A and B are shown apart, each in its own frame.
Chain A
């Protein structure tokens, strides 16, 4: 029996339920996604598209389902950012340097996906070594936004967001060092979750910034992101989220220089969402965290130094093996003095204290994920009334604070500006994914009204 055509774009929760009911088989599902990958080739979602190996995994899942075996993701095709090691399957990190690397072990999170029964459904495109936010990859192709192919999908997990939005998989795994899950989720129009720092293990993930790196899901719905989070963490955040009473929760709206400038349409949607939450019994209040104005320099120094430490050997021995933008970032990082790194960590501690302080007053912070909608591919500057801002800086301005602080942050699609999706970002206390997901689900419901 052929799967209904809509199943390829259905939420993971529906796909998993259809597999359990055996109204569709893992192989039929796999073929339904695979049929869509060829026509979507110009999006450059995959570095290694799913092949024979994914088919064998689907066949195995089919046998397990026939035996009524359990597994939250049994037979569900999940695409994996090509930064995560996959045993026996090429893992390039979007680079030329690792173009022939075939790991002998799976990354810890890939193992967890397999344990939950998922079919590892190809390796997705990314910004080279995850060090950038456009996925304009010089070695594996310039990724395109499925909502408008002239535009960037964002990055660095651009391929994962494309695969989710274009219906090329049920959900995807990404990583986030300055916004690399949430930015493409926002620009392409899907859900992206960066959990609390340290909640998900990073063994087998090619490192970028050891104190900033996070892993997390990209998915079609908040529920899907929650299901994946629980499968990846072994925890119960999504189960807890379903019991959270959102009425009475305190939602803070950030009013600081860091959230200015923002495209007027994006700003209007934040206000609309806040008003809608208020009508649904949540208490809205304005908050200020002036220390966040120091995010850009703190993130810059921290990430440049840490990434250059991770690439210390290659950037000196093989500088031409990097694309120009990543090469310059790594060379700059190699010049950073230890004393400057220490300064950045002192400021980071102040930002963290300030963020801890606002969570005495509120439960969840609401702000845009990105101040702009998807830029045109190759566009380098955003022109505000107040002056010019590099596109890369604008894209990370509202996401990077939560890599520095390590608090959970979720991007949920909420409306459009000129036909392009807008993501709203919900941020919670450390390890309070449940409330973030609960408010995220409410936002999602309000967006569809």
Chain B
């Protein structure tokens, strides 16, 4: 599945009605969002524990 397919699937699951052009317009923002959230996840990752 390409990144574009994943985005298309996500928009359908969210109930959004997007044309192919809409999807292209949304892609840069979506990519930036994913990159930023990945950094956030890494920063807040739980400390490893011995439990």
Contact = CB atoms under 8 A, between A and B. Distances in A.
Contact of A334 (B16, B22, B36, B43): B16
A313 to B, nearest CB: 10
Interface string A92-111: 00000000000000000000
Interface size bracket, B side:
20 to 34
Given A331-B18, A347-B43, A296 B36 contact: yes
A343 B37 contact: yes
B39 interface: yes
B44 A340 contact: no
Give the residue among B11, B40, B44 with the most A Cβ atoms within 10 A. Answer: B40
A204 interface: no
B30 A335 contact: yes
Contacts of B10: 335
Given A319-B16, A319-B22, A329 B44 contact: no
Given A294-B43, A315-B16, A316-B16, A340 B26 contact: no
Interface string A266-294: 00000000000000000000000000001
Query: DSSP class of A's interface residues: helix, strand, loop or mixed?
Result: helix
Contacts of B44: 343, 346-347
A347 B40 contact: yes
Contacts of A294: 40, 43
B22 A331 contact: yes
Given A300-B33, A329-B29, A335 B11 contact: yes
30 contacts: A294-B40, A294-B43, A297-B37, A298-B40, A300-B33, A301-B36, A301-B37, A301-B40, A316-B15, A316-B16, A319-B17, A319-B18, A319-B22, A324-B25, A327-B22, A331-B11, A331-B16, A331-B18, A331-B22, A331-B26, A332-B30, A334-B15, A334-B16, A335-B33, A343-B40, A343-B41, A343-B44, A344-B40, A346-B44, A347-B43
Interface of A: 294, 296-298, 300-301, 304, 315-316, 319, 324, 327-329, 331-332, 334-336, 340, 343-344, 346-347
Interface of B: 10-11, 14-18, 22, 25-26, 29-30, 33, 36-37, 39-41, 43-44
